[in-house]
Structure formats: C-alpha cells, structure tokens
Chain A
Amino acid sequence: AQSVTQLGSHVSVSEGALVLLRCNYSSSVPPYLFWYVQYPNQGLQLLLKYTSAATLVKGINGFEAEFKKSETSFHLTKPSAHMSDAAEYFCAVSPYEKLTFGTGTRLTIIP
C-alpha cells in the first residue's frame, strides 16, 4: 500500500521568500511521486513528477522537488515566492496510474 503525509496544513511565507512544502511517502514498491496544485474552484494541475530518473525534478512555475529515498521524502521548494503561488498543494504517490493523495497544504503569500 502507498500513502503520503504532508506536514503542515497551512504554510505562510512572505513574497520573495523561500517556499518549502513537506511530503513524506510510504510505499512497498519504488514509487512514482507527484505534486499537484489546486487554485480556488479549479481542478488539480500537475506541477512536477518523479519517475525514477533524476532525483531532482524541476516543474512548472519555478518549483522543484528532490526525491530522497533515505528520508522517504519528496519536499517541494521554490526559491522566491510570488503572490500567484497562493493555492492548495497536494503530494501524491502511485505505482502506476492510481494516485493516492495527501491531505494538502494551503500556501498563503504575505505581501
């Protein structure tokens, strides 16, 4: 069985500051890992995915994530937050197509 745990249901950062959203996974097989973003009243949009190639994955909108097997982590970062980054972020894990999502982290950007 696969699962993900997102630490921190709410994160606030100042505009221009580092964004760090935490995700730890549990998987009995080598996982595929994903970060999705959800803006208000919209569906989920893929930010980036890890599929056992490079451990540092770059995604859209300046986000990146690093797969660390020893820590079972896949944390999402962005060097400089922008107001448009305010949204809900979901980490997800799957062995193939069926995704298991975390509970989400709401990111607030402080002007």
Chain B
Amino acid sequence: GAGVSQSPRYKVAKRGQDVALRCDPISGHVSLFWYQQALGQGPEFLTYFQNEAQLDKSGLPSDRFFAERPEGSVSTLKIQRTQQEDSAVYLCASSLGIRGDTGELFFGEGSRLTVL
C-alpha cells in the first residue's frame, strides 16, 4: 500500500482480555517501530524491528506486551490481560532503515485501545 496501515482503528476490550493490533508497513521498509500515545501526551517508544529481528524492546511496559514481525513485513503488537492503564493510541511507524538514513518515520493512523 501507499502508506502504513493499522488495524483495527478502534478496539474496546474488557479488562483482562487479550488484544492484537496489526501493522502493515510501507512495502520495502526495513525498520518498524511501535509507539504508545496516551491521551494528551507525546508518543512513547515501545519496540523496534529491523526486518524480522526485534532489536530494541526496552519500551515495552510489562511482560504482558509482546510484539512480533515474523517475516519482516507485517507486525503484530499483542497485549495480554489488558488493564485500564493500557488505554491509549498505539502508533506504528516504518522507515527505509538504510544505514546513514536520517530517520524519517512514516506513521500509520494508529489503533485506539479503550479498556473498560
């Protein structure tokens, strides 16, 4: 596709449910990022992939959060046993990832998760 595509755009979950959020990056983009944006805040880094390798997961807030990109393209962010504090917009971004690239990220529209 022409841009980064995320689904679902909106997800309402009951506390304790598991959710899965999908990101389809721009074709050919090597790098993929997940960010969490709480209401009224800036995006906070969660995790980073280069192709299928997860190179940095330092931002994942707990072991309930898990991300994968098995074939180096589509990525899924999974949140187990959701809690109310997980309510946020989850942004996916991709970039060319070429060595020396100055790091322009292309963002999707986000998946808004509301945990009741």
Contacts and interface: CB of A to CB of B under 8 A. Distances in A.
A83 interface: no
User: What range describes how many residues of B lie at the interface?
Assistant: 20 to 34
A99 B91 contact: no
A84 interface: no
Interface in B71-112: 91, 93, 95, 97, 101-105, 107-110
User: What range describes how many residues of A lie at the interface?
Assistant: 20 to 34
In this complex, which of A49, A99, A100, A104 has the most chain B Cβ atoms within 10 angstroms of its Cβ?
A99
A97 B4 contact: no
Contacts of B1: none
Contacts, number: 62
In this complex, which of A9, A34, A97, A103 has the most chain B Cβ atoms within 10 angstroms of its Cβ?
A97
A105 B92 CA distance: 21
Contact of B103 (A44, A99, A102): A99
A18 interface: no
A51 B104 CA distance: 11
A96 B44 CA distance: 16
A55 B17 CA distance: 49
B103 A94 contact: yes
Given A41-B109, A45-B107, A104 B41 contact: yes
Interface of A: 9, 32, 34, 36, 41-46, 49, 51, 90, 94, 96-104
